[in-house]
Structure 1
Amino acid sequence: MPAQARCSTSTPPASTKFVYNIAASYIAKGRAFDPSTHVFQFNPYHRVQPPKARRGKASRPESGQDAFFVSRLGANPGEVALGVADGVGGWMDSGVDPADFSHAFCDYMAAAAVAATATAGATGKPLTARQLMHKGYEAVCHDPAIKAGGSTAIVGLLTAEGLLEVANLGDSGFILLRLNGVHAFSEPQTHAFNTPYQLSVVPPSMLLRAAAFGGAQLMDQPRDAEVTRLRLRHGDVLILASDGLWDNLFNQDVLRIVSRTMARAGAWATTERGVQVAPDLRPYTAPGEAADTTSSAGSQQHPYRTNTTTLQSMLATEIVGAAKAASVNQKLDGPFAKEVKKYYPHEAWHGGKEDDICAVVVLVSEEEGAVAAAAPKAKL
C-alpha cells in the first residue's frame, strides 16, 4: 500500500514572492571535512548537465555514496526541485559501487525536473515529488551502465507560492525549523533495524539465485515513499539529508546549530515579542563577488570560495561539520547508538556512526512587492 500523504496549508498574501536560498554540504566517510571546499551554492540560472554526458567519478562531489541534486522545476527559476540519495553500502559485497546508482539517480531527477513543462507532467497536472522520484528511478533501471545497486531517496519540490512537497523513502529525511522550534520532520522507513526502504536494480542472476536458494532482495518502489506537504514561511530553514546526519545528530542538535547560526548572523533575533525573523534576508543570502562556476547541481568545477559565503552555506557547513565530528566521537552516544541499545540491549556500542554525510539546506525568503532595495551586505 502506498504511504499516506500528510498536509498542512494556509493561504499567503497574494503579493508574496517566495525565494529559496539553497546550499549543500557533504563529506565522504573517512575523509577530513573542509567547510571551504565541501560546499555547493545553488544558482537557478545554471544549466543542468544532460544525463547522456554524465560526469565521471573524478568530477563528482566528495560525498562518497551519498549524492544530491538541486535544479529548477520547469522553466520558472522561482520553483525548485531538490533531493538526496544514499547508495546502499551492502552492494559492495557483490562488487558493486553503490555511488554509481545514487549519483546517476540524482542526475536523472535533476534533468527530469528541468524538463518539466510549467511544472506539469504528461497529463498536464503538476509534477509531484513521487513522480519525479519515479522518473529518476525508471531512467536508472534503463541505464545500461547501471548493472546493479540501490539507494534510499528523499525528494522535495518547492513552488513559487511557498508550498513544499517531500517524498521520503528510506532513512534519509528532512526537518523544517521555524523560529527556534522544530515545525515538522520525517520518520525513517525501515524493514528492520538498519535496513531502510530502498530502490534497487537487481541483476536477473541474483533474482534466480534467490528464488532457488531462498532469501529476498529489497525492491521498494517510489509509490512506497511517504509524502508530506507543508506551507512555508519567511525565515524557515529546511534541511534534507542522508542518514549520515540523522544517525549522529538529534533533531534538537540540528535546531541548536541552526538557531545559533541564524542568531549570530542577525536573521533570527530575540525580541520582547519572542524570536523574530529579519524582514529582509537578502543581505544574508546573496553570494559575494566571486561567481559560482558550477555547470550542474553537485558537480563543481571550481570549488567554493570564502568570498561567496552566504547564510545558507554557513548553515550547511555548520550542520555537516557537527555531524562529522559526532560520527567520530566514541564517547558521546548519538541517535544510532540509541537505536542499537533499543534493539540490542546487550551490544556494547558507544559513540557516533561513521558514514558519508550530505545535507541540502534551504533558507526561505518571503518577499513582498513593497520590500525596498536590499540593505548593505551583512558580515557573516
Structure 2
Amino acid sequence: MSNLVICQNFLCPSIARINLCFHRVFFPKVSAESPSLPCDVKSRLRKASIHSELRELIVSVTSSNLKKHAASAMKSSRALRMQTTLGCLSRLVSRSFVSGVVNTKEPCHAQNPHGPPSDQTRLVTAVSGFPKQKTGYNIDHILKGQIGEDAYFVARHVDDWNNNLVDETMPQYLLHPEANRGQASPAKSPSNRANTANTTSSPMVASNAGVQSLRNSSSNSADVIGVADGVGGWRQYGVDPGLFSSHLMKNCERLVKAGYLVSNHPAKLLAQGFREMKECKQQIMGSSTACVMMLSHADLKLYTANIGDSGFLVVRRGEVVHRSQEQQHSFNTPFQLSLPPSEMASDVLSDHPESADRYEFNVEDGDVIMLATDGIFDNVPDSLLVDEISAKVSSPDLVAPSHDELTARLQQCANSIALIARKLSQDPDFLSPFAQNARANGFRMSGGKEDDITVLLAAVRIS
C-alpha cells in the first residue's frame, strides 16, 4: 500500500502539469496562430513553445518530484526499487513526449496551381434499388452497401502532404511500383462519343518527376464509387452470392479511405480488393461483376474499370457523352471475378481484374454519372434514363442548386429510375434491352429480366 501511495503522490502533480502543457500545445495563444504569420513561421513558433514547455516539465518531474519522494522511498529496499522504476518511467515518458509532439508537423496548405483544391471538387451521390426477392427489402442492408446480391460503395480520399519528399512507402508506390522505374502502364481509352465499343490504348507514363508533380497537386486525392453484382448461380451450391460482391466492395472502400489507391488507376484498386479476398484465411466463394470509377482531383478526369455487365453512363446537357460496354463471354455470360473451391476451379469462369475495360475522360461541372448493375441496363433503355436524369437533375430550366438541393434531386431521380426498372422487369410484354439482346443472339423472348436493381447517381461539383 505504501508503494501505491508513493506512486500516486508522484504521478498526480506530474499528470496535472502534463495536461496543462498539452492544453497549451493544442490550444496555443492567439499570437502563435495569427493568420497574418506565414505557415513556416507558425510551425517554428509552435515547435519552440512546445520544446520549452516540455523541457521545463521534464526538469520539474525529474528533479523536484523525484528528489522529494526519493527520501521517503529510501526507507526500504522495495521503495528503492520503486524509485528506480519511476525514474526510468519518467525518462521514457519525457523522451516519448518530446519526440512525438515536438516533431509533429503542421499542415501548410498551398494553393494548387494545377486545378481547384481537392475540397472543392467532389461527387454528390445518391443510391437506390430493389432486391430481386420481394421479401428481401431491408433498408439497413441498403444503407450498409448491399441490395440483394448487389453491392456498392462511395468513398473519398484527400491527401494532405506537407513536404516535397517522395516516399516509396506511399500508397501509389505500393499499388503502382512500376512508377518508380518509369515504366509505362497501358490503359484503354474509349472515344468521346456515346455507344462506341472500340477502345484505344494510351500510355500512362509515371516517372519519379511525374509522381513528384502529381503529389504536389494532390495526386492521390479522389472521389471513388463502385458497384458489384454477385452471380446468382452460386445459390444452387448453397453459397450466398451477395457475400462475394459485398466483401469486394468493402475491401475497395477501406483501401480508398486508408489512402491505398492511385487516383487514375481504378483497375489497380479493384485488383487489390480482389487480392485481399484471395489471401483471406476464411475465403469467401462466389463470383461477381464490378465497375469502379474515380474522379481524380489532380486533373479532373474520370477513370473507370469495368468487368462484366455492370457499367456506367455520363449525361451532359441532356445527352449521353460516355458509356461503358458490356463484357460477355457469350449471351448472358458476363466476365466475372471468381473464387471457386479447388475442386470446381476448372468448371467456373474466372477472369482477372486486368481484363477490365478501362476508360478515361474529362468531366465538367454539372455532369451526372449513373453507375448501375445489369438490373438497370437490362430493363431500362438509355433514352428513358436520359429523360429521367435531364428532367430531375440536369435540366437547364432548373436553378443551380445548393449541395442539399442537389442531393435531394439525385435521390429523387435514383428512386424514380429504380422504380421504373422494377416495373419494366415484371412486364411480360415489354421489349426490354435484355430481350432485344436475346433476339440478336437467336433467342425468342420478350419482357423484362427480374434481377436485383442498384443505381448510384453522382453529380460532378466543381466550385
TM-score by structure 1 length? 0.70
Equivalence for 2:320: 182
Matched with 1:316 is 414
Q: Unaligned stretches of 5+ in structure 1?
A: 1-11, 41-59, 121-125, 211-215, 271-276, 287-309, 368-380
Deviation at 1:250, TM superposition (A): 1.3
Matches within 5 A, 1:54-73: 60=144, 63-73=147-157
Native 8 Å contact 2:311 2:324 kept in 1: yes
Shift of residue 33 of structure 1? 10
Pairwise CA RMSD: 2.7
Distance, in Å, in 2 between the alignment partners of 1:220 and 1:187 is: 17
The alpha-carbon deviation at position 256 of structure 1 amounts to 1.0
- 1:183-332 equivalences under 5 Å are 183-207=321-345, 210=346, 216-262=347-393, 267-270=394-397, 278-279=399-400, 281-282=402-403, 284-285=405-406, 310-332=408-430
The answer to whether the Cα contact below 8 Å between 2:418 and 2:453 also exists between their aligned partners in 1 is yes
* Counterparts in 2 of 1:225 and 1:253: CA distance versus 1, 3 Å: same
Cα gap change, 1:38/1:177 in structure 2, threshold over 3 Å: closer, same or farther?
farther
The counterpart of 1:351, out of the listed 447, 458, 462, is 447
The offset of 1:132, in angstroms, is 0.5
Residue number in structure 2 paired with 1:94: 237
Structure 1 Cα separation of the partners of residues 284 and 222 of structure 2:
33
Q: Which residue does 2:270 correspond to in 1?
A: 133
What is the CA-CA distance between 1:66 and the residue it aligns to?
0.3
- The one-letter code of the counterpart of 1:150 is S
CA-CA distance at 1:144 after TM superposition: 3.3
Deviations 1:265-322 (A, max 9, x none): xx5225xxxxxx7455436225xxxxxxxxxxxxxxxxxxxxxxx1221121111111
- Offset of 1:128 from its aligned partner? 1.2
User: Which residue is 1:46 aligned to?
Assistant: none
Looking at structure 2, the residues matched to 217 and 74 of structure 1 have their Cα atoms a distance apart, in angstroms, of 39
Greater shift in the superposed pair: 240-249 or 136-145: 136-145
Computing the radius of gyration from Cα coordinates, the structure with the larger value is 2
Distance 1:156 1:134, change over 3 A: same
- Match for residue 95 of structure 2? none
When residues 33 and 311 of structure 1 are mapped into structure 2, their CA distance, relative to the original with a 3 A threshold, is farther
Q: Which has the higher strand share?
A: 1
- Cα distance change of structure 1 residues 146 and 97 upon mapping to structure 2, 3 Å threshold: farther
**Inter-CA distance 169–177: structure 2 relative to 1 (3 Å threshold):** same
Tell me which residue corresponds to 1:168: 306
Alpha-carbon spacing, 1:283–1:141, altered in 2? closer, same or farther (3 Å): closer
Spell out, residue by residue over 1:87-136, the C-alpha distance to the aligned partner (whole angstroms, 9 max, x if none): 0111122221111100011111100111126x54xxxxx56100100011
SS at match of 1:268: coil
Asked if the contact 2:145/2:153 (under 8 Å) is kept, the reply is no
Task: Please tell me whether residue 25 in structure 1 is matched to residue 128 in structure 2.
Answer: yes
Q: Please give the secondary structure, in 1, of the residue aligned with 2:396.
A: strand
State the AA in 2 paired with 1:269.
Answer: P
Change (3 A) 1:23 1:193: same
Residue from 221, 226, 243 that aligns with 1:83:
226
Q: Are the equivalent residues in 1 in contact too, given 2:150–2:228 (CA < 8 A)? A: yes
**Distance across 2 between alignment mates of 1:148 and 1:138:** 13
Please give the secondary structure, in 2, of the residue aligned with 1:254: helix
Per-residue deviation, residues 46-66 of structure 1 (Å, max 9, x unmatched): xxxxxxxxxxxxxx5561100
Query: Structure 1 CA distance, aligned partners of 2:424 and 2:252?
Result: 31
- Between 1 and 2, higher relative CO (CA 8 Å, sep ≥ 6) is seen in 1
TM-score, with length taken from structure 2: 0.58
How many pairs are equivalent?
A: 289
Report if aligned partners of 1:74, 1:115 keep a CA contact under 8 Å in 2. no
Aligned partner letter, 2:128: S
Higher share in helix: 2
Structure 2 Cα separation of the partners of residues 104 and 173 of structure 1: 19
